Amino acid sequence: MRRVRDLRLAGLIAFVAALAVGLLVGLVVHLLLGGHLGWEDFNLPGLVEGLAFLLAFTLSLFAAKRAVRVPCSTLLTAGAVAPPPARRLAQPVPLLENPAENPGRYAVLLDEGGRPVGAIGLAPDIVPWEAAPVVSGEVAITELAPLFWQGDAVLVADGERVHGLITRERYLRAVVS
């Protein structure tokens, strides 16, 4: 799972690569059509050069998006806009030491040392912490989609600190809006 900063860096690199390809194609067309420096007036070679740049840049962006798999907003802003981290979307979940006192649908079981050992509500039985779908709080929310194909909720935790839980409905509302 990629973190937000990984997506920002991938978006920046892909955007700069597409820009370089567009500029290179524009330069080649410029040199092939006479190679005059500057924009003296509105002319056909200048239009052809501009269209070649736009076409090469756009096609390079499409190729880069498929290669690095980042959201369009991250790619088009060169990494300035990125999806939020999972910890920001996570809702608090009750932390219990006794499974009999479960107050809601979802909960996390703790042992005597305060470490998470299992989860309630992800399956009919208690799911061991090692088998539960747990992601780091720094993971980008766009990376969580495969986990929701397997279940209705994902736990967000960094080490022994549990940030909360993201349900499928909450995830879909955040990704669509």
The pLDDT value given to residue 121:
85
Tell me: the pLDDT tens digits for 19-42?
999 999 999 998 998 876 655 667
Q: What are the tens digits of pLDDT across the range 36-71?
A: 665 566 778 888 888 999 999 999 999 999 999 888
State how far the Cα of 132 lies from the Cα of 174, in Å rounded to an integer: 22
Helices 4-32 and 44-68, axial angle in degrees (round to 10): 150
The pLDDT value given to residue 136 = 94
Could you tell me which of 163, 164, 174 has the C-alpha nearest to residue 141?
174
The predicted structure's pLDDT at residue 16? 96
> Percent of the chain at pLDDT above 70?
95
On average, the pLDDT of the chain sits at 88
Question: Which one, of 84, 68, 98, lies nearest residue 156 by Cα?
Answer: 84
* Of the candidate ranges 10-24, 95-109, 141-155, the one whose mean pLDDT is the lowest: 95-109
pLDDT at 79: 87
CB 13 within 8 A of CB 68: yes
Domain boundaries, the chain: 4-76, 86-176
Query: 90 pLDDT exceeds 70?
Result: yes
pLDDT at 95: 84
Token pair recorded at residue 105: 């649908």
7, exposed or middle or buried, with CB in 10 Å at 0-12, 13-18, 19+? buried
Asked if residue 135 lies in contact with residue 3, where contact means CB atoms within 8 angstroms, the answer is no
**pLDDT value of residue 37:** 62
pLDDT band at 9 (very low <50, low <70, confident <90, very high): very high
Fold of 86-176: CBS-domain (3.10.580)
